[in-house]
Amino acid sequence: MPTVSEPAAATGEDRPRKLAGTAKGPRVNDLRDIDLNLLVVLDAVLTERNLTRAAETLGTTQPTVSVAVAKLRTLLDDQLLIRSGRVSELTPKAVALQPVVAAAMAQIDRTLNLRPQFDPATSDRRFRLSASDYALSVMTAPLLEVLEREAPRTSIEFSPLYEVEPIDLLRDDVVVAAQQVGVPGKHQALFSDSMVCVVSADNPRLVDGRLSMEDLATLSYVRVSLANGVSLYADDVLAASGISPRVRRTVPGFLPVPFTVAGTEMFGFVPARAAELYADELGLAIARIPLPLPVLVESAYWHPSRNDDPALRWLISTLVRVAEKVEFADEDAPA
C-alpha cells in the first residue's frame, strides 16, 4: 500500500495542529499511518459531512463507509461527525484535518498521474486483476493473447476472489465478479452465462435427464459461497420454491462444484460453460430441473477515483473485447 507524503507545512494560524492519540490508542502525528482506503473515505466524509452522501460519492454502500468511519474514529480518537439537530457537523479536530487531507489527496493525485498518457505498445504498466475462478478460467487465455499482441511490455497479476478476502478496489485495478456479489464502485457488464444443474451421469435419481422437485429436496447439495460470503443466487430460487436443500459441501467458487459432484449422488449449480468443459472428463450430466435458473452476469468493477486513468480505461475496453470473444465464442468473434 503506497504511503502518503506529508503535506507542506503551513504557517501562522493556518497551520493544522498535529494529532496525537491517547496513551492507550495509536499515535497519529500525520496521515502516513492511515490506510489509503481509509484516507479516501475520510476525504469524502469531511467533504460531504454525511455518510450516505459520502458513500454515493465513492460509489460504495453506506454500511461500508460506516465501517471505515468506525476505524477512523478509533485511529484518530475523535468522532469526526457530531449531530446538531437534523444535520451533522464536523468536530474541531475534523475541521483541522480538512486542509491536511485535501493536501494529501492532491499529492496522491499528482503522484498517480505523473504519466497521464498511456501507450499500450510501449507501456510497462503492471495491472492487478481479481476475478472469480470461473471468470479467470474463461478470460485469462484470450486476455493474455491481446496483451501479448498489443501491449507486450505490460504485465498482469491475477488473483482469485475468495470469500475470506475482502474486495479492495484500491488495491486492484479491476475486479471481475458476478453482479450478485454486490461489489461497490463503477462497473461495466462483460458477459453472461446460463446456470445449469450438474449431477453424476450415473446418479440413480436422474430419469430421462431430469431431476424432480423431490430429488432436489432429497439429494445432497454442493453449495457455492462467493466473494464476501455471498451465497449463490440459485439458493434463492430453491428457497422461493420451498426447497431447503441438504447442504453436504460448501465450496468457495464455481469450479470445485463439478469435481465435488463427480462420482456422488450430490448435485450443484454452475455456469453452462464450466459444465460443458468438465462433463465428459468427469462423467457428469446437465440435469433438467422444474425450476427457472437466473442468468449469471460477470462485470468489471473499479474505484471511481480511477475513472480518468487512461491505462485503466484501456484495460476496461480490452476486457470488453475479450468478453465478446467469450460470449460469442461459437461465432469466432475477434478479440
Beta strands in the chain, from DSSP E residues, in sequence order: 81-84, 87-90, 126-131, 155-160, 174-178, 186-200, 220-224, 246-251, 267-271, 284-287, 295-302
Show the cell assigned to 124.
Answer: 510497462
Q: In this structure, is residue 295 part of a structural domain?
A: yes
Confidence (pLDDT) at 53: 84
The CB density around residue 11, as the number of other CB atoms within 10 Å, is 7
Show the cell assigned to 276.
Answer: 460443458
Q: How confident is the model at residue 215 (pLDDT cuts 50, 70, 90)?
A: very high
Q: How confident is the model at residue 22 (pLDDT cuts 50, 70, 90)?
A: very low
User: 191 with 260, same domain?
Assistant: yes
User: 75 with 137, same domain?
Assistant: no
Does residue 1 register a pLDDT over 60? no
Q: In this structure, is residue 4 part of a structural domain?
A: no
The amino acid present at 151, given as its one-letter code, is: A
User: 133 with 186, same domain?
Assistant: yes
Q: List pLDDT tens digits, range 252-289.
A: 888 999 999 999 999 999 999 999 989 999 999 999 99
Confidence (pLDDT) at 92: 92
Q: Which of 22-31, 103-112, 286-295 has the highest mean pLDDT?
A: 286-295
The CB density around residue 281, as the number of other CB atoms within 10 Å, is 10
Confidence (pLDDT) at 231: 58
Instruction: Find the angle CA(46)-CA(52)-CA(54) to the nearest 5 degrees.
Output: 35
Question: DSSP secondary structure string, 111-148?
Answer: HHTSS----TTT---EEEEEE-HHHHHHHHHHHHHHHH
**Range of the structural domain that residue 297 is part of:** 118-335
Q: How confident is the model at residue 33 (pLDDT cuts 50, 70, 90)?
A: low
Q: Are the beta carbons of 302 and 186 closer than 8 angstroms?
A: yes
Does residue 111 register a pLDDT over 70? no
Number of domains in the chain: 2
Q: How confident is the model at residue 210 (pLDDT cuts 50, 70, 90)?
A: very high
Domain at 196, CATH number: 3.40.190.290
Mention every residue, 6+ apart, whose C-beta is less than 8 A from residue 86. Answer: none
Per-residue pLDDT, averaged over 173-202, amounts to 85
Confidence (pLDDT) at 214: 94
User: 42 with 130, same domain?
Assistant: no
User: 183 with 320, same domain?
Assistant: yes
Whole-number Cα distances in Å, 147 to 118, 127, 144, 308? 14, 11, 5, 21
Confidence (pLDDT) at 109: 66
User: 134 with 91, same domain?
Assistant: no
Q: In this structure, is residue 7 part of a structural domain?
A: no
Q: In this structure, is residue 2 part of a structural domain?
A: no
Show the cell assigned to 195.
Answer: 446456470
- Residues 147 and 315: their CA atoms lie apart, in Å, by 10
Q: List pLDDT tens digits, range 237-248.
A: 888 889 888 999
Q: Are strands 81-84 and 87-90 parallel, antiparallel or unpaired?
A: antiparallel
Q: In this structure, is residue 6 part of a structural domain?
A: no
Mention every residue, 6+ apart, whose C-beta is less than 8 A from residue 313. Answer: none
Confidence (pLDDT) at 259: 96
Q: Are the beta carbons of 304 and 59 closer than 8 angstroms?
A: yes
Whole-number Cα distances in Å, 261 to 156, 232, 254, 275? 33, 16, 12, 11
